[in-house]
């Protein structure tokens, strides 16, 4: 595959995945309102699940289409890449944005501490597929990780009130449920096609750049899949809702420490390698620092510098 072809594949895959993600989120919000979901359920459970669907599609497509091998590396890079990019780039940029606006960083409510602590404690489980590949214990480990996520969502969910504000679907107008479900199905189809093109481009890019598919996917895939929640986060910060802004970024990270490693345990014995371990270590350091600062009540330049420093160190390592 020529350089131009894989570049077009990556660009088209990113664009289609991003557009389908926006349509998917729009349809889910519309259906959530029409079905009378309560705010606690929508905010703590449904929203993190729906915003992670694009990444899940990429992971499953890579594993199924490539039957392990390079597909496993793309899947692993996607699992590691989302929290890595959020903690070393998106969150630091959000802090920098607040500092440029003359503030002392991001004020943070205590409710953000639980997901950060759970993530830091369980994210090393991404090594479990490699460590338990030939052991029947992998099934028990996968069940425990899934159970941990169920317990987490149960403790985080709040009854709240039904979504009361009138909702107008950006793409369908005041449509009925049938149109909402149609929009949902179309977005899922777009995600599947986009994931296929993106994974193909990532695998080809790794050949031309002299990098592994893991290293490429750690950086490329989240550029499309993390944009929706990052855009929402910056909008909330601009409006002065710091906790909502941070929550939009970290809300789904627990999935990457529980559900996705469990999928890896049941499907493929992926291998982290030194670059994967480096990305996990940088993520752990940045998130542990953010958790400490949330406990103190404000996320400051310390989290920003450590996050950006981890990203710079990783880039230096893979290009050395």
What's the whole-number mean pLDDT along residues 170-180? 61
Print the SS3 string covering the chain.
Answer: CCHHHHHHHHHHHHHHHHHHHHHHHHHHHHHHHHCCCEHHHHHHHHHHHHHCHHHHHHHHHHHHHHCCCHHHHHHHHHHHHHHHHHHHHHHHHHHHHHHHCCCCCEECCHHHHHHHHHHHHHHHHHHHHHHCCCCCHHHHHHHHHHHHHHHHHHHHCCCCCECCCCCCECCCECCCHHHHHHHHHHHHHHHHHHHHHHHHHHHHHHHHHCCCHHHHHHHHHHHHHCHHHHHHHHHHHHCCCHHHHHHHHHCCHHHHHCHHHHHHHHHCCCCCHHHHHHHHHHHHHHHHHHHHHHHHCEECHHHHHHHHHHHHHHHHHHHC
| Alpha carbon of residue 6 to chain centroid | 24
Instruction: Give every CB contact of residue 12 below 8 A, 6+ residues apart in sequence.
Output: 194, 197, 201
pLDDT attached to residue 159: 40
Local confidence band at 161 (pLDDT 50, 70, 90 cut-offs): very low
What is the Cα–Cα distance from 309 to 67, expressed in whole angstroms?
A: 35
pLDDT attached to residue 151: 86
Instruction: Give every CB contact of residue 240 below 8 A, 6+ residues apart in sequence.
Output: none
**What predicted TM-score, i.e. pTM, was given to this entire model?**
0.74
More confident residue, 115 or 311: 311
| pLDDT, tens only, 120-158 | 999 988 888 777 777 788 888 889 999 998 888 777 665
pLDDT tops 80 at residue 54: no
Domain CATH for 260: 1.20.1420.30
What is the Cα–Cα distance from 271 to 268, expressed in whole angstroms?
A: 9
Look at the block and give the residue holding tokens 């679907």: 169
Q: How many domains does the chain have?
A: 1
What's the whole-number mean pLDDT along residues 198-211? 70
What is the Cα–Cα distance from 4 to 301, expressed in whole angstroms?
A: 40
Look at the block and give the residue holding tokens 């996520």: 149
Tell me which residue range forms the domain holding 165.
Answer: 3-319
| pLDDT, tens only, 218-263 | 777 776 666 666 766 776 677 777 776 787 688 778 888 888 888 8
Instruction: Give every CB contact of residue 40 below 8 A, 6+ residues apart in sequence.
Output: 157, 158, 159, 160
pLDDT attached to residue 165: 46
| pLDDT, tens only, 258-315 | 888 888 788 777 777 888 889 999 999 999 999 999 999 899 999 999 999 999 999 8
């Amino acid at each position: 595959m020529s350089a131009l072809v894989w570049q077009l594949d990556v660009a088209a895959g990113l664009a289609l995945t991003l557009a389908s993600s926006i349509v998917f989120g729009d349809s889910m919000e519309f259906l959530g309102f029409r079905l009378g979901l309560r705010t606690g359920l929508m905010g703590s459970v449904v929203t993190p699940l729906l915003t992670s669907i694009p990444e899940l599609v990429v992971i499953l497509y890579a594993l199924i289409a490539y039957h392990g091998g390079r597909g496993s590396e793309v899947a692993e890079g996607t699992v590691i890449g989302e929290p890595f990019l959020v903690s070393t780039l998106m969150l630091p940029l959000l802090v920098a944005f607040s500092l440029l606006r003359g503030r002392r960083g991001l004020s943070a409510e205590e409710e953000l501490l639980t997901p950060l602590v759970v993530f830091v404690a369980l994210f090393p489980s991404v090594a479990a597929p490699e460590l338990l590949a030939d052991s029947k214990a992998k099934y028990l480990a996968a069940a425990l990780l899934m159970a941990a996520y169920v317990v987490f969502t149960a403790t985080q969910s709040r009854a709240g009130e039904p979504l009361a504000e009138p909702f107008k679907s950006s793409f369908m107008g005041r449509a009925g449920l049938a149109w909402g479900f149609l929009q949902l199905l179309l977005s899922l189809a777009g995600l599947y096609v986009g994931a296929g093109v993106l994974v193909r481009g990532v695998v080809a890019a790794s050949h031309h750049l002299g990098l592994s598919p893991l290293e490429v996917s750690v950086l490329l895939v989240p550029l499309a899949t993390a944009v929706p929640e990052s855009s929402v986060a910056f909008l909330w910060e601009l409006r002065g809702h710091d906790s909502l802004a941070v929550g939009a970024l970290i809300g789904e990270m627990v999935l990457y420490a529980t559900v996705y490693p469990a999928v890896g345990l049941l499907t493929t014995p992926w291998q982290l390698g030194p670059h994967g371990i480096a990305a996990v270590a940088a993520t752990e350091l940045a998130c542990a620092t953010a958790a400490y600062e949330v406990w103190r009540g404000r996320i400051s330049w310390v989290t920003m510098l450590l996050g950006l420093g981890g990203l710079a160190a990783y880039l230096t390592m893979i290009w050395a």
